[in-house]
Amino acid sequence: MVLIEDIEKIEKPFQNAVLTIGNFDGVHIGHQALFHQVIEQAAALGGTSVAMTFEPHPLRVLKPNGHPPQITVNAQKLELIAATGIDVIICVPFTRAFAAIDARTFVSDILVRRIGMRAIVIGKDYTFGRNREGNIDMLRRMGRELGFEVHVADWVRVPQAIRDRISSTKIRELVQAGEMERARHLLGRHYQIRGKVVAGRRRGGSLLGFPTANIILQDELCPPTGVYAVTVQIGETRHLGVANIGYSPTFDDHVFTVEVHLLDFQGDIYNRDIRVNFIRRIRDEIRFDRLEALSDQIRQDVQTARQILANDLP
Residue 82 is classified by DSSP as: H
Other C-beta atoms closer than 10 Å to the C-beta of 100 total 11
CA distance 174 to 164: 13
Mean pLDDT value of segment 193-210: 67
Listed in sequence order, the residues at least 6 apart from 132 whose beta carbon sits closer than 8 Å to its beta carbon are none
- CA distances in angstroms from 125 to 22, 74, 128, listed in the order given: 11, 23, 10
Q: What is the pLDDT of residues 127-169, one digit of tens each?
A: 999 989 999 999 999 999 999 999 999 877 765 645 667 899 9
pLDDT given for residue 206 in this prediction: 43
CA distance 276 to 213: 11
- Judged by DSSP in three states, 182 sits in helix
pLDDT given for residue 66 in this prediction: 76
Mean pLDDT value of segment 286-297: 82
Mean pLDDT value of segment 281-306: 89
Listed in sequence order, the residues at least 6 apart from 100 whose beta carbon sits closer than 8 Å to its beta carbon are 130
Confidence category of residue 247, pLDDT binned at 50, 70, 90: confident
Q: Give the HSE-up count for residue 232: Cα atoms under 13 Å, Cβ half-sphere.
A: 28
pLDDT given for residue 159 in this prediction: 55
Residue 134 is classified by DSSP as: B
Q: What is the pLDDT of residues 212-246, one digit of tens each?
A: 889 988 767 999 999 999 999 999 999 999 999 99
What b/e sequence results for 185-223 when a residue is b if at least 16 CB atoms lie within 10 Å of its CB, and e otherwise? bbbbebbbbbbbbeebeeebeeebebbbbbbebbbbbbb
Contact 120, 20 (CB under 8 A): yes
Other C-beta atoms closer than 10 Å to the C-beta of 63 total 11
Domains along the chain with CATH numbers:
14-152 (3.40.50.620), 192-312 (2.40.30.30)
Other C-beta atoms closer than 10 Å to the C-beta of 289 total 8
Strand pairing category for 17-21 and 88-93: unpaired
Q: What is the pLDDT of residues 31-88, one digit of tens each?
A: 999 999 999 999 999 999 999 999 999 988 988 887 889 999 999 999 999 999 999 9
Separate counts of helices (H) and strands (E) for the chain? 9, 12
* Mean pLDDT across the chain: 90
Percent of the chain with pLDDT strictly greater than 90: 70
Closest CA to 199 of 186, 212, 217, 183: 212
Whether the pLDDT of residue 89 is over 50: the answer is yes
Residue 257: φ, ψ to 5°: -140, 155
Confidence category of residue 295, pLDDT binned at 50, 70, 90: confident
User: 0.75 exceeded by the pTM?
Assistant: yes
- CA distances in angstroms from 189 to 29, 219, 291, 314, listed in the order given: 9, 17, 36, 12
User: Residue 185 is inside which H or E element, if any?
Assistant: helix 180-187
Contact 258, 214 (CB under 8 A): yes
Mean pLDDT value of segment 183-195: 94
Whether the pLDDT of residue 103 is over 60: the answer is yes
pLDDT given for residue 205 in this prediction: 44
CA distance 101 to 116: 18
